[in-house]
Amino acid sequence: MKRLRDNELIYGRLLTVDEPHLIARYNKALKALGTPETKLASFGIDMTGFSPEIAEELGDQQYLDPNGVNRRFILLTPDQEELPVVHTQFSNTAGLMHEFFEGNRRAISAVTIRDALYGEIEDPVSEVRDIEDLLLIDQVNFRVVSAEDILGKAAELRTLIDRLTGPGDTWRDDAALNRMVDLARETGDIRQNALVPDKLVFPHLSFWANHFGGAFLFRDDRSVTVICDSGAPGFRRSRPWEVSYIDIRDRERIFEFLSSTGRLQLPRASWVQASGLLAHRAEMAVLEIIRRVDPAVDLGHIDPVWLQTWMHRNASLIAEDGIYPFLQESLREIMLNGQIRMREVRGDRRLLLVRAEPGHQDKWLVGRLLAQMMPFDFVSRFVFDKQGFYESYNSYSETYRAHVVDSLTNTYLRDKAALRARLFGIEGTRDDA
């Protein structure tokens, strides 16, 4: 993983924590969460407060996610909102954190001047044992505490203020007035600065969970669809009257579901030619064949001439694999007719011709699912499914790893938004992508 770290393809853009008072606050939060304190004088954190260095120190990558559910977080600064999430069991952890920041920005900014916020993203379940447990997760509650008890002190001060301004003679109570002064020295004027986060409940809609080999749960107005390995506990048994189940290997049914619910953009000349996505997938398919048959080949100086020469010499391998000729033929048909009749396409190949509908709210989740369907496309895998990308990367030869890193560094990292807009039609920024 050193090459990935050096090129900021893993654990990139983390916030360095090296000030003693911030480390002390972080340690108080760790202690309160029942986790050993860190002895490091400097470490990086992501949006949730997860630190790869502390995980390595503790020998526990799950120290903020002990059961793979009810994710813990530690907030030292509002600047964490701009960071990626580098370790998570749910695809929408980053989205939920963004919503929490958006809904409580003033409180987070005010509290973290003097204190650290920590807590859990509480789900309705404490452990995921089967599909039913995932189905129960339809909203989450942020349980928030502060390391120096600023929140508790603010609540106490609010109570005293209410007593002072209400009926009674609290204004004669010197002890209460002195306590208010002491609390105000620590919290500031809570009438002007909101210290207590008040937007704490958020919907948990469609998502991917890193359980049972990876499970996708799509929620529509009146239905729920689960896509995962059919061997997962509860598959087709949990709520069969309201939940549809699709095996992750059934590409034809996956296509039918995604297209019928408006989550796919079908192949049309209007986007296929401008995006270059199908041509990109075709090239990725060829590179995957090269990787399999000649893992030691040096791809450092690969160019179109070299690639075409290799393809001519290995035409039988390419024909046997079938993906490259299929995509090339599809591109020709699109250029001639402007579209493809999907009913005439083999069911297990339809997903090769589509991308996530850019206007759908589940576009990132669909992008992850499609990337899993095409593991040879390491660019799409890195954009949408980093966990899967890192798993695949570990199986690559050193020469192919070098090629993958060079390709991502020279394309995606140069301008992430531009590449996502061109290949996938997704506009705007996304800090955790």
Higher pLDDT, 8 or 60: 60
Report yes or no: 381 and 392 within 8 Å, Cβ to Cβ: yes
Higher pLDDT, 295 or 131: 131
d(CA 385, CA 364): 9
**Other CB atoms closer than 10 Å to residue 317's CB: what's the count?**
16
Shared domain for 276 and 401, answered yes or no, is yes
Q: Check if the beta carbon of residue 228 is closer than 8 Å to that of residue 212.
A: yes
Strand order in the sheet with 117-122: 72-75, 117-122, 139-146, 201-203
Tell me how far apart the alpha carbons of residues 233 and 237 are, in angstroms, rounded to a whole number: 8
**Does 232 reside within a domain?**
no
Q: Are residues 282 and 380 in the same domain?
A: yes
Instruction: Clarify whether residues 276 and 199 are in a common domain.
Output: no
Q: Which of 125, 138, 121, 116 is nearest to 17 (CA)?
A: 116
Quote the domain boundaries for residue 55: 2-149+195-203
Q: Is residue 158 part of a domain?
A: no
Nearest residue to 56 via CA among 40, 77, 72? 40
Q: Are residues 61 and 141 in the same domain?
A: yes
**Cα-based distances in Å from 106 to 59, 111, 283, 306:** 36, 9, 48, 57
Last residue of a domain, one of 203, 230, 248: 203
Same domain, 143 and 273: no
Spatial separation of the C-alpha atoms in residues 42 and 39, rounded to whole Å? 9
Instruction: Give the span between the Cα atoms of 243 and 246, in whole angstroms.
Output: 10
Classify residue 219: in a domain, yes or no: no
Residues 296 and 420 in one domain: yes
The 10s digit of each residue's pLDDT in 68-115 is 999 999 999 999 999 999 989 999 999 999 999 998 888 888 889 888
Q: Is residue 40 part of a domain?
A: yes
Indicate whether 285 and 199 sit together in one domain.
no
**What is the band of 431 on the pLDDT scale with cuts at 50, 70, 90?**
very low
Helices (H) and strands (E) in the chain, counts: 19, 12
Using CA atoms, how far apart are residues 147 and 114, in angstroms rounded to an integer? Answer: 10
Assigned domain for 258 exists: no
Instruction: Say how many domains are in the chain.
Output: 2
Is the Cα dihedral 87, 93, 94, 99 positive or negative? negative
| pTM metric for this prediction | 0.87
- Whether residue 31 lies inside any domain: the answer is yes
Distances (CA, A) of 333 to 282, 314, 339, 343, 349: 15, 25, 7, 14, 15
- Pick from 80, 85, 68, 197: nearest CA to 123: 68
Q: What percent of the chain has pLDDT over 70?
A: 87
Instruction: Please tell me whether residues 308 and 384 are part of one structural domain.
Output: yes
Mean pLDDT, the chain, integer? 89
- Using a 10 angstrom Cβ sphere, with 0-12 exposed, 13-18 middle and 19 or more buried, the burial of residue 166 is exposed
Please check whether residue 174 lies inside any domain of the structure. Answer: no
Q: Answer whether residue 163 is part of any domain.
A: no
Task: Please tell me whether residues 110 and 22 are part of one structural domain.
Answer: yes
126 and 133 Cβ atoms separated by less than 8 Å: no
The 10s digit of each residue's pLDDT in 390-414 is 999 999 999 999 999 999 999 888 8
Q: Within this chain, do residues 199 and 332 fall inside the same structural domain, yes or no?
A: no
Neighbours of 162 (CB within 10 A): 10
So what's the pLDDT on residue 6? 86
Q: Could you give the dihedral angle defined by the CA atoms of residues 390, 363, 102 and 118, in that order, rounded to the nearest 10 degrees?
A: -30
Least confident window among 51-55, 130-134, 327-331, 411-415: 411-415
Last residue of a domain, one of 159, 184, 203: 203
Give the end of a domain, one of 178, 203, 228: 203
Residues 274 and 407 in one domain: yes
Q: Are residues 20 and 117 in the same domain?
A: yes
